[in-house]
Every structure is written in C-alpha cells, then in structure tokens.
Structure 1
Amino acid sequence: MFRPLLSLTISLGLASIVRSAPPWNAQPFSPPSYPLAVRSPYLSAWLPQGSGLALNEVWPEFWGGGVVGWAGFVRVDTTTYSFLGLPAVPGATFAKAVQKSAKFTATQSVFVLQAGPVDLTVTFLSPVEPKDLLKQSLPFSYLSVVAASRDGASHNVAVYTDISAEWVSGDNALRANWTTTTDSGILTHQTRLVNPTVYGEVRDRIQHGSSYYSTAKTANTTFQTGADTVVRANFVSSGALPNTEDKESRAINDRWPVFAFAQKLGAVTSTPSAPVVFTVGHVRDPIIQYIVKGNTLQDRLPYFLTRYATAAQIIADFLPDYTKALGRANAMDAQVRTDALKISEDYAAIVDLSVRQTFGSIELSVSRSSNGAINATDILVFMKEISSNGNMNTVDVIFPAWPAFLYFNPELGRYLLEVLFRYQESGLYPNKWAIHDIGASYPKALGHNDGGDEPMPVEESGNMLIMALSYTRKTGNRYIIDTYGRLLDQWNQFLIEDSLIPNNQLSTDDFAGPLANQTNLAIKGIIGIKAMAEVAGLLGNAGEAANYSSIAASYVTQWETLSASKTQPHRTLGYNSDSSWGLTYNLYSDKLLKFNLFPQRIYDQQTAWYATVAREFGVPLDTRHEWTKTDWEIWTAAIASTKEVRDLFISSVRKYAANGLNRQPFGDWYETPSGRVNGFRARPVVGGHLALLDL
C-alpha cells in the first residue's frame, strides 16, 4: 500500500510557531486529528491533520499511529475521483476531489468535497449512546456518502469504499483470512487473523476478533476482495466491481488485501441523493480477563451478547438503524452544544472534540453464571488508559474523565468503579489505601496482589471517596456507599493520617515525579475526608460524620497557613517553597460537592495569580516545568473567580487544539510556550473538559 511522505510547512509568527489555516472551511476549527470511527480502544480510526490534511491527502490511522487502510472513490459520469485515503492505482487514471469544508460535532466528523460537477458529503458517525447500554456496547461505526449536482445538470454517480486487513492487527506481517457474506439483504466482509492471540496486543492493537465491513445489498451494489491495486483499479476504470473473492489467505502486507463495495447511485441532480451507508466494526469474545474473589480469572463477555448472539445479528439491526441513529446523534450534539455555549463558543468546541474520545476508551461487559447462561445484570465497564501506559480502570484517569460520566450517565461511572471496589473488597489487595489500577496492561485486569501498583495513596483514596459521593448525590442511588462503606472508611482513615502533610509521593501528574508536602494533593485528601463525613451521615453514623467534618475543617485552617507563600500572593506547589506555585485544580471537587470547605479568598487569590503567569498557550501546571494539562486547565477555569481568567484558560486550550502544530488525536499534555504536544494522545481524561457543565 503506497503511503507518501507528508510535507508540512512551518512559518514563524511573532509570538510562537504557527501554521497556516487549511484552505477549506473548518468548523469550529481544524483539530490535530479528526475522529472517524472511534468506538472502543480497538475500533479507533482517526484522520491526522497538522496544518490541514484533506480527507484524501492522508491515510486514516489507529489512535497510536499506524495506517488502518480506508479508501474511497466516486465516479462521476466517466471520471473517477478519490475522496478518502491515499490509494495508489498503478496504470489507472483518477483525479482527486477537492475538499471544501470539514466540521466536527460531539458524535460526527463531516467533510464536503467537490468531485467535478458533484459535491460529496462524507459523514463519519460514531454513536455515543450513554443512556442505552446495549447501543453503547456495539463496537460499530457508520460512514455515509451523499452526492448532489453542483451545476443543475444530472450526472451518473457511483460510490466505492474499502477497508484493508490492517484493521485486525498491529503487525502487518501476520497472516489473515477473510470471508464475504452475500446471502442476505446485507453484504459483509469479515477479516480475522489466522493465528489469533486471545487478550494479546501488538502496538496497542488487539490480536483476536474480527473486523466487519458492511453495506446494504441492492441491485446496484457490487463487491470484491483482493489486492488493493487490483480491486481499486476495477472501480476506477468501470465504476463497478465484479462480485469476486480472492480467498488466498496471506500476510496483511502481502499485496495488501482489501474488502470493497461499490454502489451506483444513478442519475444525481441538485437534490441530494439518499445516503450510501457503510458500517465498520471490530468484534471479539471474550473481551476482558478479570481477577475475582478467590484469586481466579474470569472471562468477561461483551455486553451486546445480552441481545445478539453473533456479529451478523448486530449488523442486521445496526446498518438499517442509520437514519434513526443520525437523528439521535443530532439531538445529542445539539443538547451538548447548547449547554456548552452557555459558557462560550471556544468551550463548546473543546467539549465537542472531547466526547467521542472519552467514550472511545471504554467497553461494557457481562459475565456468565455458573450454568453458562449470560448474566445480564452483572455489568462492569472497563477503561483503557490510552497512550500513557495501557493500564486498566486507572483511578486517576477515571477521575479527570468523571465529569463526562456525571453529565451523560453516572451509572457508567458506577460500573467503572465497581471493577475496582470488587477487587479490593475481595481482600486480594494488601495496601490500606486505594489501588491505582486493576491491571497493568489492557485487556488483562489481573489486579495487584503484591501491592506493587504505581503508588498514589492520597491521590487515589481521595479520588474514590469524591467519586463515590458525587455518584450518590447525582443519582440518589446508595449502592456504592451501602455496599462498600467499610472500604471507603478504610481509605478515609489513611487520608486522615497522610493528607494534611502528604509524604513524598506521586500525584496523578506522575510524569513530573514525586514530591513531599504537595499543596494541591493535600486539597484532594481533605475534600476526601469531608466526603466520607457525608457518607458516614448517610449511613447513619452521626458521630463519625461530625468527627470527620471537624477534622476536614481543622485541616483546611492548617493548610491555609502551610500553603501560603511568604513572598508572593499565591499558594505554593509544596509547603515551605515560597517561590513555587501550581494549578490548584483539586479545588474543583469542593465546588462540585458544594462543600465550600476552602474560603473564597483562596479562589480569588489563585485566580488573580494565574493571570500573571500565563504563557502563549496557557498556564503551566506548576513551576517545575512549562508544560500543562488541558483537563486541569479546564477544571481550574471552572472554579476561577472571574470570567476573564475562566476564559483565559478555555481560550488557551482551544488555541492549543487549533494551532496546527500537532497531528495526533487530541493530547492533554503540552508545552505552554510552544503549543507542542508532549506525547499523550486520545486519552479519556478529556472527559474532564465537561467540568463546567456539572457545576
């Protein structure tokens, strides 16, 4: 598969390195990478951007890099144009459609390209259906193509798309095989590895399961499987495919097998055609290996098995549901945008870019009962710590993402936490504080029976208490506190010991290294203690509630003295370090839970200080480095005392996201002087960008 090198021009601006805007209309801006099919950690295809790459100027890529071949052509009368991917067809002649616009919403990326006298509207819809667990569990996404004449005349139009075997592995030297199903009202290409490895990963790509590419079977639909250059040449030259299959199993990079469909739309006028709809998916069973009480391993199944026994049954419902799915998506997009626009246009754009990325990190699972039947009530949700290390259900990744779950459906958040609560309640985990994660490498949730997980004792204990209470408050459901009240109080006892003056330890910003006496970390621990006070009260333990509340209030008073800089008007990064400072984003939980533990003068002082230390692309995380995090900037914006400083943080994140310097899925860690991303990509922590919506 031919993959040309990209040539990106850099121009020097007065204040920073910037790149020119793309030559098409980009709304609300041109992001580092457009989400195309983003539904799970393994069904995750993106369009890299940089300073602006059209839909037909670059191959779609997996979130971690590496091509996932996805090509598209349209034939208009006697001329063929490419509109998706970078297909090379030796010996065949075709033109390139010209991109006119691109936009993203919370659920969709929409591109309009001009193919001679016809406009194509190409829509990538990755449904986000958080209140419908069945629909949310389906690892499938849509591509639709609509054509319309630009010149008032009628034109004969045919549309072609294909995917490659690259969708089933991170190692293109591995052998794959494939089949095509043609005996129903739907055409489906299924691709799998010849020698799969259950629960195995290569370059963050799962090594078992199958990819599926489908479209409706009509009299005008044709198909073909085979070498990329052969299959594509057939459509480029004739506008149709021969309905043949290449059944030779081989390595993915051996003549690059692709799986294609073509559909003749017939005469297209200025009235837009009905959409040609394709679905792409990746299905595997089982999906998660999970440690359970008794130190045994349980195979967790995809939630959709509660309704569908096979992928074919999913596709039979999913494909014809496109129109209704689009309607639901449009309604959700509109609601999210309406809510976010109450803050600002910049904020709405950031939220829109964050939604699919957040939900593309999770998978919904169920188990089997002892008799082998599927237990539809045993629901657990698993999250991959995408790009940073691949851990599972990392507490300090769920925590920054938590605002999205509170906003869309807190029950999904409960199912994420239940994974952690069950394991620690089992007695297998030896530490007295909350665990960091449930497994070092997705999708193996093997726990840490040796207690050797990355130690963030105050961080994770505070996080769990805050999330448990916020869930209980939001839903009125007492399940967490009634079931795990003893465990919550165990973590609270640790916080009482170590929160006010935290020992030398890591916080969630572990890339900055450990630090003793962290001002911001102490905030989290103190709020965690106050959260346990309310939990104790709900559980009928009035004495404990009063005691914990008194401790939290006392700690705040002492904290205010310990954290004050004696030389400048701000809180320090660590006690007794007067010149140091950092974002005190953990105060957000004080506002979220409406405790008002910390006096307003602290918020006012910090707000005023941030305005004095802002850089070109935002406010640094702390004085150790000039980098920052988008999630913590938005959390800090949410608690800023003035609209001006709130908008400073928001506009800085938007400016970074739109600066044209980066071409990977939205990264949350970047340099404030230059706007350069720092390595993280596609992480679910961007769910924290919804923080203002939960206040």
Structure 2
Amino acid sequence: MRSQFLCAAAFALQALAAPSWTSTPFNPPSIPLAVRSPYLNTWLPQGQGVALNDAWPSFWAGRITAWVGFVRVDGISYTFLGAPVVDGANFTKATQKSFSFTSTQSTFVLSAGPVDVTATFLSPVEPTDLVKQSIPLSYLHVSVASTDGATHSIQVYSDISGEWVSGASEWDIQWSTTTTDILSHQISLVSPAKYEEISDQSQYGNWYYSILNGKGASAQIGRDAVVRAQFLNNGVLSTVKDNNFRAIADSWPVFALEKDLGKVGSTAAAVTYAIGHIRDPAIKYVLAGNVKQDRSLYFWSKYSTAQQVISFFLNDYSNALASANALDKKVETDAAKISPDYAGIVALSIRQSLAANELTISKNAHGGWNTSDVLYFMKEISSDGNTNTVDVIFPASPIFLYLNPKLGEYLLEPLYRYQTTGLYPNKWSIHDAGAHYPKADGHNDGTDEAMPVEESGNMLIMALGFARAANDLTQIRRYQGLLDQWTQYLIEDSLIPTFQLSTDDFAGQLANQTNLAIKGIIGIRAMAEISKLLGDNAKYTNYSSIAADYVTKWTTLSASKTGPHLTLDYNDDASWGLAYNLFSDVHLGLNLFPKSLYDQQTAWYKTVVNKFGVPLDTRHTYTKTDWEVWTAGIVTDQGLRDTFISSLKAYLSNGLNNQAFPDLYDTITGVALGFRARPVVGGHLALLLL
C-alpha cells in the first residue's frame, strides 16, 4: 500500500542529501523515463537527488505511475526500480553508481551484489520517420553483467500498476495477456470515456507492457505484494490467473513480466521491455460545416493491430538504439559548440517537447488511410491544456526547425484549415484549435483567449520560417489570403498595441507593450518576405516599407528617457523586459532593427542579472527559460550569452525543484513557479538555428 502523501514525504526526506552517484551532465529537477506522448509521460522526480530505486516514478502532473524492477542474483534479490514494500519476501536495494541523460535516453547503473544492472530508458526521437515518430511506446532496456569475474544465475522482473490507466484510482480496470511472439499485458478501463481526461491522464485507450516471448519468459497479473513475492521467493512467475477485474486501488493489481537470463558473466545479458498507451481515434478535429472528424495516429497506416506494432517495436530495439545514439551525438556536437552547459539544457529539452505532440492521419472515402493528410497536434501541457496553442507552438518552433521543419508545417495546418472554413469569426489569428486536448473542435463563437497581435505575428513568422527551412512554398501559397488578412490586422494594431495579452499571459494584460510591438512589426515584414517568395513584388515593397516605417516610429515610442534600455511599455521609463521577440529578426536575417539597439540591450542586461538569470520584466523577479535562451541569441557579447546559459543550468541543477523541466522560475531563489513538462522547452534549441 502507498499514498501520494507518503511518497511526497519520502521525497522531502531524500532531497535533503546530495546524491552519492555521478550525474552526467548534471542532475535535473526530474528525469525523463518513458516520455513519448501527452499520456505516456512518466518521470523520476529529483530535487537534490533520488535514486532510481528510492521513489515511485510519476506522471508529469505528479500522480504515481508505479513501476518496479527486481534482479535476482543466485537467489538473492535486489530492487533497481521503484520503491516497493513486499511482506513475506526478502530483498535489498541495489546501490546506484551513476546516472546520465542524452536527448533520447536516461541511463542508470546500479550495483546488485556481484553484478551491475544498467537500466536504460529510451524514448525514441525519429523526426523524419512519421511511422516511428507516431508510435506511442517507450523502451526500458535492462542489462546485467558480472563484476567479480564469476558467472551468476540471473532473473529480471518488472511490473507496472493500474495507476498508469487513469487519473483516478477508484475507476475499474480490466486486463488480458497476449502470448504469441510477444508476452504482453493489455490494461484498460472497464468504462472508458473517449476524448476525456482526469488529471490530464487519458480516460480511454489501452496500456501495454510487453517483452519478447521465448525461453525463460513468464508473466503474471495479481495483487502487488502477491505477484512480487512470487518472483522474489521463486525466481519465476506463477501461471495462476487473476480475473477479478476491479478498481485500480483495490488490492493494487500489477502487471508483471520476468525473464530468466541464465548464467551471466562479464558479457552482459539483457531484456527489453516496451511500455505504451495506444488509443484510437486519437484526436477529434472540426471540419467545414462544423463536422467533427476522428483522426488516428500515423502508425496505423502500417500496422493493423497493437500486437503488430509492439512486436515491431521490440524487435527493432537495436535499430532504435543506433538511431538514438546518432541523434544524441549530433545534438551534443552542435550544442557543445555553444557550451557544455547548453548541450545539457538542449538534451533535457528534446523528449519533453516532442512528447506533447501526436502525428495523425484520416481515412479516405473508401476506408483506407490517407497518408497525404497529415496533421500534427500539440497539447499545451500543464497550463491550459489547449490543443495547438499558437503561442506555445511559437516558442517551441526551434525544435522543429532544427529536427524537421515539415513537422512545424504539420502543426500549423490544423489552424490554417479551420480558419479557412469561416467558422472562426475574428479577423486575427485564433489562439488555439480547441479548449482542451485531445479535442480540436475550434472556437466558433470567437471567444478563445484573445491574443490578437501575439498570435497573428506568431503565425506569420512561423509561416516564413518553416517554408524557408523546408524549402517548400506549398503551404504559404495555399493560405496566403489568410496570412494577408492577419497582416492587415497587424498594420492596424501592432505599432501601438491596444490593452491585451501577450504570450506571457500569466503576467496580465498591458497596453503599448514594447516587445509585443516588435513581434507585430516582424510579422508584417515576414509577410513581405512571403510575398517575395510567392512572386508578388508589389506586396513585398509595400509591407517592407510599412515595417521599416514602424521601426522608426517604434524606436522613439519604446525608448526610456531615464535609462539606456527599452521600456516594458511605452512611456513607462523605469520599466524594462526581455526583448526576446528580436530573436526572429536575427534568425530570419531581416535586419529590421539597428545593431545599436542590440548593443544597448546587451549592455543593459549585464546590469540586471540575478543569481539564476535575468527577470522577464520589471513586474516580477521571475523569468521564462525559453525566453532567456532566445534573448541569449540576440545579445552581442558572448560573455553575456554564456551568462544566460550558465544561469539557466544553475537553476536546473540547484536541487530545489522536482518537476519536469519547469520553464517559469524565480531568478533570485531558483524555485520553480509552475509550468512543468511543457513543449515550449523546444525553444531552448534556438541557438542551434543561428
């Protein structure tokens, strides 16, 4: 038995001491374990350091997703994963020796008596393979090798609990086990609710925990203490079936898989587990005429059953590992050119950012899969839960520009399509495609969260950026009328923005926002560049002239009369903020704003650096991690750029936080203020674009 309260209390005690193991490149606030989709999103909270077998893994929102691992060595059992208590059975905790993470993997090495256990959690990143990237499965690879020169009899055990299935433990679950080429547990709710969530966990679909079947493999379902004691006492699981479907918290049913590795010496032997959540349909999307369309994950175009895709996934581990290692190396090489601290920040960001997204396709009139109809959907994790929020896609956009810009276009496509139906009544860009994931049912009443300059500017800037990076004009040509409509709005309202929200909506509404005006002006110039790409030189000249004129006027409006810096809002001379929207001017090579402005802001930011970074603006001492990195991309002094990065790394490694990469924190205390597991951390790849 266990509770959230007890787990939190245990964490608080463990967080008092620094870890005894080595952590490479550093110990983050939380370690990604299985982080592959909005629902397959489990972490190991850290603080100052929690071993893999010191605490329960948890869903990004904080709820326990119990995951247990034992290794039995010559009849003596050790736990390497999770924090189980098993009455009537003896085991000891393996000793964690090291932990490391890359862009795709989290690896733990633990000593279990005369052997080392290496547990590698691999969440694949396959940005150019739409089938593989859409598979909502993740690996746990457990290898064991002798450290004393002798051979040892080894059995490996792992289980998951029903807590993965729902955000409420009183819900009844049901289960079955497949025994073909794979040994696979399937778990689901007895009464699923399509497209619904509880505490951000999906209320429909099936969970799977699987290994390859064969000699030495066994499976069992039952009460947690009973099943675990069976392995600990016997080294093999029982064939006794538990068909008493019940609530998640009723005698805590667990779903266990065991593999006898036989005699193992200094050459490692291993077993690979696959965990995942498969639901169909995945997304509800609104079409013209307010028709609702069910959309499915892309991988269904190749595999007709869950068992087929799981079998492929398990048999493909060596290829997945090779691909992951290649990507890890590329990211490390590119990011290390900035600094080692930056390389670690980028590596911690990639799985988290991509896991918020799902690739979907539709069916054609004959019932076949239409793989030319690709729409990518993003959940605004931990803030509003919206679907395809424009001002969340925008800060995340560097990850797509770096890995595969077509993914960025697939993210924008649902927004474009909906707004061309005429269902959305406003003349500016919509804020999101649906109030709550996984429903992309639009805002036909036009009452979505209004950020007119923000979202219109974002869409225009991303339209240009993705078209250039993908070297494909198809999308901007198709939607040039909509892009032009948003540009006309920016001409009306971006130089002197009315009282409204920007993407930093948590800070409240404000009129005459200096940084928001920057975005609007760049948006107008982006449309000039789009027009040029499409061969409309008259529009290029017109929009370029308007943007240049606005920059001249903005320069006067935004300047502080009492200090050499930009204001937060016009005529508020003592105010200032991070002018992160200038990054698009630099990245797109527009050269709209004079170099002297960048030099001025560089000098100013040097005077306002706190222990853990530069505040977002003068209203608070907090900051945003994505905007810090974007600001690091516009400063003209490498030393200051490196200060932004080192301050961010200091925040991530200070041991004061235990959530998945929180992107809002206090620059004085280094304490996270919310916004965890969000896709905006993809914006940390911004410096790789310059």
Structure 1 distance, partners of 2:532, 2:687, is 28
- What letter corresponds to residue 32 of structure 1 in structure 2? P
Per-residue CA deviation, residues 466-496 of structure 1 (Å, 9 max, x unaligned), is 0000111112201121100000000000100
Correspondence list, 1:161-560, <5 A = 161-182=158-179, 184-273=180-269, 275-560=270-555
- What letter corresponds to residue 544 of structure 2 in structure 1? S
CA contact (8 A) 2:209 2:274 kept: yes
Structure 1 distance, partners of 2:353, 2:255, is 29
CA contact (8 A) 1:301 1:367 kept: yes
How far is the alpha carbon of 1:347 from its aligned partner?
Answer: 0.2
How far is the alpha carbon of 1:78 from its aligned partner?
Answer: 2.1
Per-residue CA deviation, residues 310-350 of structure 1 (Å, 9 max, x unaligned), is 10010111101001100110010000000000000000000
The 10-residue stretch of structure 1 (398-407 or 238-247) with the greater mean CA deviation from structure 2: 238-247
SS at match of 2:575: coil
Match of residue 680, structure 2, among 673, 681, 685 = 685
SS at match of 1:477: coil
- What letter corresponds to residue 549 of structure 1 in structure 2? S
- What letter corresponds to residue 175 of structure 2 in structure 1? W
Structure 2 distance, partners of 1:56, 1:538, is 56
Structure 2 distance, partners of 1:558, 1:505, is 20
How far is the alpha carbon of 1:244 from its aligned partner?
Answer: 3.1
Structure 1 distance, partners of 2:641, 2:584, is 17
Please tell me the root mean square deviation across aligned C-alpha atoms, in Å.
Answer: 1.2
Per-residue CA deviation, residues 647-670 of structure 1 (Å, 9 max, x unaligned), is 111011111111111111111000
Match of residue 645, structure 1, among 635, 640, 648 = 640
Per-residue CA deviation, residues 274-310 of structure 1 (Å, 9 max, x unaligned), is x210100100000111111111111111111111111
CA contact (8 A) 2:11 2:55 kept: no
How far is the alpha carbon of 1:402 from its aligned partner?
Answer: 0.2
CA contact (8 A) 2:212 2:311 kept: no
The 10-residue stretch of structure 1 (512-521 or 146-155) with the greater mean CA deviation from structure 2: 146-155
How far is the alpha carbon of 1:20 from its aligned partner?
Answer: 5.3
Identical pairs, percent: 61
- What letter corresponds to residue 456 of structure 1 in structure 2? M
Partner of 2:2: 2
Match of residue 140, structure 2, among 138, 143, 152 = 143
Partner of 1:120: 117
- What letter corresponds to residue 27 of structure 2 in structure 1? S
The 10-residue stretch of structure 1 (318-327 or 532-541) with the greater mean CA deviation from structure 2: 532-541
How far is the alpha carbon of 1:270 from its aligned partner?
Answer: 1.8
Partner of 1:30: 27
How far is the alpha carbon of 1:269 from its aligned partner?
Answer: 1.3
Partner of 1:47: 44
Per-residue CA deviation, residues 505-538 of structure 1 (Å, 9 max, x unaligned), is 1000000001111000000000000011111222
- What letter corresponds to residue 54 of structure 2 in structure 1? E
- What letter corresponds to residue 136 of structure 2 in structure 1? P
TM-score, normalization: structure 2?
0.98
How far is the alpha carbon of 1:371 from its aligned partner?
Answer: 2.7
Per-residue CA deviation, residues 588-627 of structure 1 (Å, 9 max, x unaligned), is 0001110010001111111111111011110000000000
SS at match of 2:380: coil
Counterpart check, 1:68 vs 2:65: yes
How far is the alpha carbon of 1:452 from its aligned partner?
Answer: 0.3
Q: Name structure 1 gaps, 5 residues minimum.
A: 12-17
SS at match of 2:479: helix
Partner of 1:132: 129
Counterpart check, 1:664 vs 2:664: no
Structure 2 distance, partners of 1:379, 1:110, is 34
SS at match of 1:212: strand
Structure 2 distance, partners of 1:517, 1:128, is 41
Per-residue CA deviation, residues 419-473 of structure 1 (Å, 9 max, x unaligned), is 1000001111011100000001101111011110000000000000000001111
Partner of 1:612: 607
CA contact (8 A) 1:2 1:88 kept: no
Structure 2 distance, partners of 1:650, 1:22, is 24
SS at match of 1:141: strand
- What letter corresponds to residue 391 of structure 2 in structure 1? D
- What letter corresponds to residue 547 of structure 1 in structure 2? N
Structure 2 distance, partners of 1:530, 1:310, is 48
SS at match of 1:587: helix
Partner of 2:87: 90
CA contact (8 A) 2:27 2:49 kept: yes
Partner of 1:585: 580
CA contact (8 A) 1:20 1:660 kept: no
Q: Name structure 2 gaps, 5 residues minimum.
A: none
Structure 2 distance, partners of 1:122, 1:598, is 50
CA contact (8 A) 2:457 2:490 kept: yes
- What letter corresponds to residue 22 of structure 1 in structure 2? P
How far is the alpha carbon of 1:629 from its aligned partner?
Answer: 0.2
CA contact (8 A) 1:666 1:681 kept: yes
Structure 2 distance, partners of 1:351, 1:19, is 27
Partner of 1:15: none
- What letter corresponds to residue 219 of structure 1 in structure 2? K
SS at match of 2:613: coil
Structure 1 distance, partners of 2:663, 2:74, is 46
Structure 2 distance, partners of 1:652, 1:408, is 26
Describe the shift of the 1:20–1:571 C-alpha distance in structure 2 as closer, same or farther (beyond 3 A): farther
How far is the alpha carbon of 1:261 from its aligned partner?
Answer: 1.0
SS at match of 1:526: helix
Structure 1 distance, partners of 2:227, 2:30, is 28
Partner of 1:80: 77
State the aligned residue count. Answer: 687
- What letter corresponds to residue 191 of structure 1 in structure 2? I
Counterpart check, 1:109 vs 2:114: no
CA contact (8 A) 1:19 1:659 kept: no
Structure 2 distance, partners of 1:458, 1:380, is 25
CA contact (8 A) 1:179 1:191 kept: yes
The 10-residue stretch of structure 1 (24-33 or 365-374) with the greater mean CA deviation from structure 2: 365-374
TM-score, normalization: structure 1?
0.98
Structure 1 distance, partners of 2:308, 2:12, is 48
> Runs (4+) of structure 1 moved beyond 4 Å?
7-11
Structure 1 distance, partners of 2:13, 2:429, is 46
- What letter corresponds to residue 552 of structure 1 in structure 2? A
How far is the alpha carbon of 1:60 from its aligned partner?
Answer: 0.7
Per-residue CA deviation, residues 123-150 of structure 1 (Å, 9 max, x unaligned), is 0000000100000000000001111111
- What letter corresponds to residue 114 of structure 2 in structure 1? P
SS at match of 2:316: helix
SS at match of 1:576: coil
How far is the alpha carbon of 1:8 from its aligned partner?
Answer: 5.7
